[in-house]
């Protein structure tokens, strides 16, 4: 009995082994571990110390430091037939088969990824415009009410009736004055012509002629006209002149043009009209007397249709002065009539200077001779500084258009005298190829 009591006392009051108890407690109760071991340990690959700062207001979850951890890798138990084999273990026949399969799969993937021709078009949705509802209050504030139409009195009704009657009368008068008026001035209605003109028209189509105006513009009435004559000796010195068959070539001046002008520094040409160059040419070809005068004094020297070209470029701006259905022919007749008033070459030969070709004379003396005859200042233009080329005489445009008055040319016309002409000038003689009438070069131009 005594030995049994001793054994019992040792088991109940005896001291246990420290090492064994500590290990058992740590394994069974991890919360009872010491403080150094219970705290989180830094990762061995991270040199930065762990941050224990809690997330505040300004610190987001993305800004917290990332601490990588070592998680245990998952090991998949694959069956032996699915485990990867080394290239050395795979036979060569199987390697070729694998390469063929890869090549076929790449081809199939490329064919599948190719875009089809008929791509499906997604329907585009129309933008819906949302407009606010206009209430009565908004209409008063933002949308003003349309004004009520004024009541028409008896005087207003009478004025409307009068204006309508005036417009109808103006239209009827224009139809009587111009029976072939086109609706638009850019497109001209052709005048009926006689069949005698057709062979001449066919000849003109084959020959080279001056280019007519491509566009026309509106202008006011001109202030004055410039009647220009040029000297044949200077014009044909290049050897490019040829004349129609019926023209006589003599030493002297020929008609260049009759040009409307403004006093301001603005040129006027290619004006809107109701005729057009084709109709004017038909009118000229039908008038035999005018054709004879044009062949002698206003002939085509280098290209055909010179007189019609001068009318289209300059004479079209004078149709308010030369009114009526015969306005273009009246314009040409006045230009030729002013040319016939004086033979300038005869006047210079009979003067005190007794001018001869090839000799130099003072420009002031020649101008004085012309002023003594015309009674106004006349402009002179030159080529090559000392060779006389043109003589320009100015006429008033506001008086009688068929019998205009002589006026002094404005400074706008004299501007080129001092620039192009020296103090001493001369008149070149007629070239040798134009002196013999049998050897004069001829063209087939009808005028």
Give buried/exposed letters for 59-81 (b at 16+ CB in 10 A, else e): eeeeeeeeeeeeeeeeeeeeeee
Residue 355: its pLDDT value, please?
94
Residue 92 forms part of a structural domain: no
On the question of pLDDT at 86 being above 60, the answer is no
pLDDT over 90 percentage in the chain:
38
Residue 111 forms part of a structural domain: no
Tens of pLDDT, residues 116-127 = 554 455 556 666
C-alpha 94/C-alpha 97 separation (Å) is: 5
Residue 336 forms part of a structural domain: yes
Structure tokens at 375: 């009674």
Q: Tell me whether residue 183 is exposed, middle or buried, using C-beta atoms within 10 angstroms of its C-beta: 0 to 12, 13 to 18, 19 or more.
A: exposed
Residue 288 forms part of a structural domain: yes
Structure tokens at 176: 């009587």
C-alpha 381/C-alpha 226 separation (Å) is: 13
The mean pLDDT of 360-372, rounded to a whole number, is 94
Angle at which helix 327-341 crosses helix 277-286, to 10 degrees, equals 60
Residue 15 forms part of a structural domain: no
Q: Which of 43-57, 68-82, 121-135 has the highest mean pLDDT?
A: 121-135
Structure tokens at 208: 């080279």
pTM exceeds 0.85? no
On the question of pLDDT at 276 being above 70, the answer is yes
Tens of pLDDT, residues 377-397 = 999 999 888 999 999 999 998
Specify the number of domains making up the chain: 1
Tens of pLDDT, residues 166-225 = 777 766 765 554 444 444 444 566 777 788 888 888 888 888 899 999 888 888 889 999
Task: Give the structural domain span for 377.
Answer: 205-434
Residue 193 forms part of a structural domain: no
C-alpha 353/C-alpha 419 separation (Å) is: 24
DSSP symbols for 125-142: PPPPPP-----HHHHHHT
Residue 411 forms part of a structural domain: yes
Q: Which residue has the higher pLDDT, 351 or 27?
A: 351
Domain CATH code at residue 397:
3.90.730.10
Tens of pLDDT, residues 394-422 = 999 888 888 999 999 988 888 877 678 88
C-alpha 326/C-alpha 429 separation (Å) is: 39
Residue 130 forms part of a structural domain: no
Give which of 233, 309, 226, 219 is closest to 260, Cα–Cα: 226
The H or E element spanning position 390 is strand 387-396
Residue 185: its pLDDT value, please?
44
């Amino acid at each position: 009995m005594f030995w049994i009591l001793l054994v019992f006392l040792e088991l109940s009051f005896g001291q246990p082994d420290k090492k064994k108890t500590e290990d058992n407690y740590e394994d069974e109760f991890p919360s009872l571990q010491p403080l150094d071991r219970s705290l989180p340990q830094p990762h061995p690959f991270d040199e930065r110390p762990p941050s224990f700062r809690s997330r505040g207001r300004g610190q987001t979850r993305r800004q917290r430091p990332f601490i990588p951890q070592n998680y245990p890798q998952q090991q998949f138990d694959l069956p032996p037939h699915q485990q990867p084999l080394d290239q050395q273990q795979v036979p060569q026949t199987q390697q070729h088969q694998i390469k063929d399969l890869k090549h076929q799969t790449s081809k199939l993937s490329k064919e599948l990824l190719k875009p089809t021709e008929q791509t499906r078009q997604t329907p585009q949705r129309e933008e819906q415009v949302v407009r606010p509802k206009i209430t009565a209050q908004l209409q008063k504030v933002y949308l003003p009410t349309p004004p009520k139409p004024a009541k028409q009195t008896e005087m207003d009704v009478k004025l409307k009736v009068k204006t309508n009657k005036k417009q109808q009368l103006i239209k009827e008068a224009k139809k009587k004055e111009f029976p072939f008026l086109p609706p638009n001035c850019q497109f001209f209605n052709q005048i009926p012509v006689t069949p005698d003109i057709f062979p001449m028209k066919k000849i003109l189509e084959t020959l080279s002629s001056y280019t007519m105006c491509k566009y026309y513009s509106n202008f006011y009435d001109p202030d004055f006209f410039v009647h220009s004559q040029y000297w044949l000796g200077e014009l044909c010195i290049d050897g490019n002149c040829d004349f129609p068959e019926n023209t006589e070539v003599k030493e002297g001046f020929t008609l260049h043009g009759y040009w409307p002008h403004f006093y301001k520094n603005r040129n006027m040409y290619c004006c809107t009209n109701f005729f057009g160059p084709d109709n004017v040419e038909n009118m000229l070809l039908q008038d035999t007397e005018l054709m004879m005068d044009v062949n002698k004094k206003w002939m085509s020297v280098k290209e055909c249709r010179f007189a019609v070209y001068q009318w289209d470029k300059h004479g079209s701006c004078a149709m308010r002065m030369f009114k009526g259905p015969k306005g273009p022919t009246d314009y040409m007749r006045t230009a030729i009539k002013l040319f016939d008033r004086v033979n300038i070459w005869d006047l210079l030969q009979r003067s005190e200077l007794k001018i001869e070709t090839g000799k130099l004379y003072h420009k002031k003396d020649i101008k004085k001779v012309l002023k003594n005859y015309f009674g106004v200042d006349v402009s002179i233009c030159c080529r090559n500084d000392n060779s006389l080329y043109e003589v320009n005489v100015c006429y008033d445009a506001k008086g009688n258009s068929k019998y205009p008055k002589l006026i002094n040319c404005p400074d706008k016309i004299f501007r080129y005298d001092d620039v192009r002409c020296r103090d001493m000038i001369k008149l070149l003689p007629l070239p040798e190829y134009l002196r013999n009438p049998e050897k004069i070069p001829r063209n087939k131009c009808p005028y």
